[in-house]
Amino acid sequence: MKQTASAQQVIDRLTERWAKASRPPVNCTLGHKPLRRRGGGCSVCTAPQEFQLDQEVAQLINTGAFKGTGVCPYQVITSHLIAGAAFGPEAFRARSAGQYRIDPVVAIKGALKRIGTVTRATGWTREDIEAISNKDEWWEALYAVLSAEHELQIALAKFRSQIAGKTSRSPRGPTGALHIQAVARALAGAWRVLTGYLPAKNDKTFHGLLHAAVATIFGHPAKEPNWESTTRTAVAHIKKDAASKT
């Protein structure tokens, strides 16, 4: 499945859905009343089946993975994901480690492509435009566009070299795959709310939910992460945080 929206766009959409469903809040009847005829939610559920994550949550509801806690699994999982992605420890560590939420190479290449449509439409060379840029504001503005194009090309080359260097020295341990760690910790917290316990060892059911969440937000990873190791790390961090507060 190809990722067609950026991670930020998906988070924004999840936030929009969460805010809309919270006004006014509805008591979930899961576990207290029969599921809807088509399943995937309780009798009052209005959650859309928009993402792979939604489909995985629906399957978990249908198989009885969640207890009747009076809270909507879609809302609990969404709220935890939003908070984890924006304010979780991994999000702050990602920023301090210089891991971008957007790909600067893709963004700059897109800008250059759009600028190119302007400069090519004139049919003039850079030298021609530079020579007459002082004639009037139109040519002066066009020369400014050319100058911006040149500066962006320099920035693009620098970003490419930096990213290539970081790829050859890919972060390990605490700074590796922070986006996946953030999702795992967020989902582990949501899992405890919905089931009463943290994910168990080799919990394939939780791994499926984690996989769906990562794929929904970031797209399917080129290399399958070790979901069990990621889950264990998330659980360990949650327990450590809880211990430090007692």
Q: SS in 3 state form for 40-80? A: CCCCCCCCCCCCHHHHHHHHHHHCCCCCCCCCCHHHHHHHH
Place of tokens 């009885």: 64
Q: What is the pLDDT of residues 142-197, one digit of tens each?
A: 788 888 888 888 877 876 776 554 443 333 444 347 888 889 999 999 999 999 99
Q: Which amino acid type is present at position 186?
A: A
* Cβ(174)–Cβ(60) below 8 Å: no
pTM (two decimals): 0.64
Instruction: Give the pLDDT score at 168.
Output: 39
For the chain, give the percent of residues with pLDDT over 90. 23
pLDDT band at 19 (very low <50, low <70, confident <90, very high): confident
Q: Which amino acid type is present at position 180?
A: I
- Let me know how long the chain is: 246
In whole angstroms, give the CA distance from residue 179 to residue 225: 12
- Return the exposure string of 66-75: e unless at least 16 CB atoms fall within 10 Å of the residue's CB, then b: beeeebbbbb
* Cβ(99)–Cβ(7) below 8 Å: no
